[in-house]
A and B are shown apart, each in its own frame.
Chain A
């Protein structure tokens, strides 16, 4: 893997949720870096702060303290407009619940993003990359869960993002369908070189990553680099 400048630099990131008198420390002093083109799997028990972390580096949420840099963008000090711009130009998201627009077809869901992106690929190209060329004109309700998730991936990558952030992308899928989705992700990572962060609670998936990061209790407990990566088809759960 190329040794380039880190795409993400996260230092002492903390996040505290306050609801009335109750305080929840979701993140306590996270330090993290990711390099361009890296495929990182994030593991950890439920409630350990994974999603909070991903949301903050994806510009969906704000930090309580610490620094988050995406290349030369200081995300911790950015306002809503700057964060929107950041998401629009640089980030692709994939979530457990696909969050497709039900009134738009697969192709149109992708076009939704390409319309506002700076250097998009063709919607058809993005859908081909996730193996959905023959399903482009179907509405979400006419697609299976795995297919919907692949549309979501296509939508995420169609803008040629620098980073692809996935929160439990296979969480709602059976293993056979999940593997198809993971194949789409690794394929995209390899082809467009987007730095990819995938949250999962499924330890079997860790083998497809360059690097595995473990969260516990709001912080990163351990990291390990996989000497060899497996192809998604080789893992099973």
Chain B
């Protein structure tokens, strides 16, 4: 009946006998494989989804805003060499008034793109229909905004456009490729409740904003191979007389830029962590399997004695580890695919894609499987090689006689500090320094992957602290619809509930050093020390605005390759678009975006238009919030209002959602690795010393005393591994961080003691759990069995 060869039967029985260990190894492998599959899968899915969505919706390549340009200009833009399609439209900010929401929200009003196949930035209607071109009230709203307020087609709310309030009727809910990442003005994180995109008919917006026959925004699609820079330069030339603020490519398009930064973070995590996981898992699997096979030495000798050749024996053990590896890989594929889809979905919800393309790149699966199989087979080969080619008589003997040595001249023993069982533990560990070192390294790596998965929380807290509590300390930022003269500051200061007001000015500039340049908002702040919106130096002390020159954020200075004292070239994006050189007078600390700062008087001189401000930073009396909000709505000069408290909350919760979920996934996988490693380590130590421990039981040692010897050995290894694990984990965190950082996010590496503690706690818990799991085996050590066989 049984066609199985005896070796196959042995294989199956061995697997059954060692099922717990085999499963633990398979789980470690599975965790390694899963990380790679999920990380790469989530990133590739989102990347491909974005590409497909951009193509489907004809997302534009170049964008530009103007104050008011005649629509006839469109044909001249279309005639620019390299321009494939042009779409002009009206885009203006407005305040919203929504029942149940005390503070004013912000909205971007955009004239709805056409429905024709040639239209750019096409809407993806989730429900309802586009607004009637003749209706002054009908509107399609962005999905996130609709969901945040529970709006469906038929719902109504109010916007304050150009000083007049108008009741809108929602006719549809849609998504736009321009607002995949729907960041509101002045916000650090998308907040759907306070920021919505509203598409209305061209006619309705034109009449509301006095833009009949004119446009305020233009999008351009480039022909394949066209030079973006040349097109931008040409557009800038055409738009300059109409208040153009400089055309820009996708790289500077807000949604695209942030989406890019987020994807880069995801890719950073998936390019750095999974390979680390996979390599760590492979190392551990290799180590574990080679020790497991080494325990089979006598059996290998026996097989040889009865005539099996070395290759047959090697094949047997390779099959054994392959069986485990296949289970591990299957677990990894399953878990990785599933987690990758979940993660992609999570990001997709946050990013507002109309659909999600799941990418399953076979090469990722193949790489993960090959590395794992390779590590497993290498582990087995390593151990088999040393035995399978020995003469059988030698193989059946225990490995070369153990010549233990006294260490440290017997000092330790003489001190009688630890008793004979302590001496046993110490000598064991020192007898095979390499093996002990690899055990320690294994446990350390388990701790390290946990540190490497969890470090970000400290960094995020620090980022929030610096950005929201030490830099932007204002309660609210009121940005005017248009630049105002200084008296607007005093008007703002007199609004109800305002405790303090500080002016600021935002000027769009291109800042460059030689060929390297970046579009940034140059922010003017009052000279001297500001109380609300502060700029911190790299030493974290508040900086005073210089009389001359600009302060650049660390990231910007690094990109431009300039230091304090160097000159940078600045070109204004609006107004007379003048260019000038100015010295870098300081470098500031900045984690979000690229920052450039100047004193207001200096900015006055730079622009040649003195005495203007863009808005005010305010400290508010919480008791008078309602009155303040009402007054802001009633003030015609209001452009939009950013609320710091809500911003920081949103920032925190969004990070909590994204980073924490990601971190949790990796942490769970890291914990599996930790548990798998420590459990296997404990089991192997038990197998290696089972005989000795059983002899001690014969001599009258209690179960507890015997367990303590084994536990002491495990404890020594696990404890020594902790600091090493922290160090390696810190290195991992550094590697992830390097991949994590982008021009928009610059994350400081702060690994809090709590992160180290948590990682160690998981590893220690794994050790204690493993100790408990093997306790039953210690209790059942077969005393009689050891007496029958010689070692």
Contacts and interface: CB of A to CB of B under 8 A. Distances in A.
A93 B700 CA distance: 10
Interface stretch (A108-116, A203-211, A213-221): A108-116
Contacts of A111: 420
B199 to A, nearest CB: 78
Given A101-B424, A104-B424, A108-B420, A81 B702 contact: yes
B404 A87 contact: no
B648 to A, nearest CB: 60
A173 to B, nearest CB: 13
Contact of A116 (B423, B424, B700): B700
A97 B698 CA distance: 13
Contacts of A99: 695, 698, 786-787
A187 interface: no
A81 B402 CA distance: 33
A196 B696 CA distance: 21
A55 interface: yes
B133 interface: no
Interface string B400-439: 0111100000000100000111011001100100000000
A127 interface: no
B701 interface: yes
A97 B428 CA distance: 21
Nearest to A168: B787
B431 A103 contact: yes
B422 to A, nearest CB: 10
B705 interface: yes
B27 to A, nearest CB: 31
A81 B699 CA distance: 13
A141 B423 CA distance: 17
A60 B427 contact: no
A124 to B, nearest CB: 15
B692 A95 contact: no
Interface string A38-69: 00000000000001000100001100000000
A125 interface: no
A87 B421 contact: no
A99 B789 CA distance: 10
B787 A141 contact: no
Given A60-B784, A104-B420, A167-B787, A112 B403 contact: no
A91 interface: yes
A95 B420 contact: no
Contacts of B424: 101, 103-104
Contact of B404 (A61, A97, A102, A155): A102
Contacts of A88: 699-702
A139 interface: yes
B784 A87 contact: no
Contacts of A96: 787, 790
B703 interface: yes
Nearest to B398: A102
B102 interface: no
Contact of B420 (A60, A87, A112, A141): A112
Contact of A95 (B402, B431, B702, B787): B787
A97 B787 contact: yes
A108 B412 CA distance: 13
Interface string B195-239: 000000000000000000000000000000000000000000000
Given A95-B787, A97-B790, A139 B404 contact: yes
Interface in A5-39: none
B696 A112 contact: yes
A55 B782 CA distance: 12
Contact of A108 (B403, B413, B700, B783): B413
A141 B402 contact: yes
B700 A89 contact: yes
Contacts of B421: 112
A90 to B, nearest CB: 9
Contacts of A128: none
Contact of A84 (B402, B431, B703): B703
B699 A155 contact: yes
Interface in A97-143: 97, 99, 101-105, 108-109, 111-113, 115-117, 139, 141-142
A85 B702 CA distance: 8
Contacts of B700: 84-85, 87-89, 91, 113, 116-117
Interface residues of A, number: 36
A167 to B, nearest CB: 7
Contacts of B699: 87-88, 93, 112-113, 155
Contacts of B419: 115
Contacts of A108: 413, 420, 423
B791 interface: yes
B297 interface: no
A191 to B, nearest CB: 21
Nearest to A155: B699
A21 B790 CA distance: 28
Given A87-B698, A112-B421, A139-B403, A103 B784 contact: no
Nearest to A55: B784
A10 B655 CA distance: 75
B697 interface: yes
A60 B431 contact: no
A113 B404 CA distance: 20
Contact of A60 (B423, B703, B783): B783
A84 B702 contact: yes
A74 interface: no
A102 B399 CA distance: 12
Contact of A115 (B413, B420, B783): B420
B403 A141 contact: yes
B402 A104 contact: no
Contacts of A85: 700
Contacts of B697: 84
A80 B697 CA distance: 11
Contacts of A139: 402-404
Given A84-B702, A116-B705, A103 B787 contact: no
A155 B696 CA distance: 11
A51 B787 CA distance: 10
Interface string B698-719: 1111110100000000000000
A142 B702 CA distance: 29
Interface in B645-700: 692, 695-700
Contacts of A93: 698-699
Interface string A139-168: 101100000000000010000000000010
A111 to B, nearest CB: 5
Interface of A: 51, 55, 60-61, 80-81, 84-85, 87-89, 91, 93, 95-97, 99, 101-105, 108-109, 111-113, 115-117, 139, 141-142, 155, 167, 172
27 contacts: A51-B787, A51-B788, A60-B698, A61-B783, A84-B700, A84-B703, A85-B700, A91-B700, A97-B787, A99-B786, A101-B424, A101-B696, A102-B402, A102-B404, A103-B427, A104-B423, A105-B404, A108-B423, A109-B420, A113-B699, A115-B420, A117-B700, A139-B404, A141-B401, A141-B402, A141-B403, A155-B699
User: 3 closest Cβ contacts across the A-B interface?
Assistant: A88-B700, A141-B401, A97-B790
Given A104-B404, A115-B419, 16 more contacts: A55-B784, A84-B702, A85-B700, A96-B787, A96-B790, A97-B790, A99-B786, A101-B692, A104-B427, A109-B420, A112-B696, A113-B699, A113-B700, A116-B705, A139-B402, A167-B787
